Copies of this chain bind each other. A is one copy, B any other.
Amino acid sequence: MGRVKLKIKRLENLSGRQVTYSKRRAGILKKTKELSILCDIDILLLMFSPTGKPTLCLGEQRFVSL
């Protein structure tokens, strides 16, 4: 999606990785929460930003960025 189609390979630019990370992280967190509610299931999601900052998501609970 987006104005241009991205090839799924490592983005060479750090700032580009951070911007893409922030945007896509929001989308994945949203889908994760929706799935946990729709299907009434447990989901654990832990990811680290390109600079190492962790984000933890436990189902429909508010996600925690440490």
Contact = CB atoms under 8 A, between A and B. Distances in A.
Interface residues of A, number: 31
Number of copies: 2
Interface string A3-14: 000101111000
A66 interface: no
Interface secondary structure of A, over-half rule: mixed
Contact of A47 (B17, B20, B38, B43): B43
Interface of A: 6, 8-11, 17-18, 20-21, 24-25, 27-28, 31-32, 34-35, 37-50
Nearest to A40: B10
Contacts of A24: 31, 34-35, 38-39
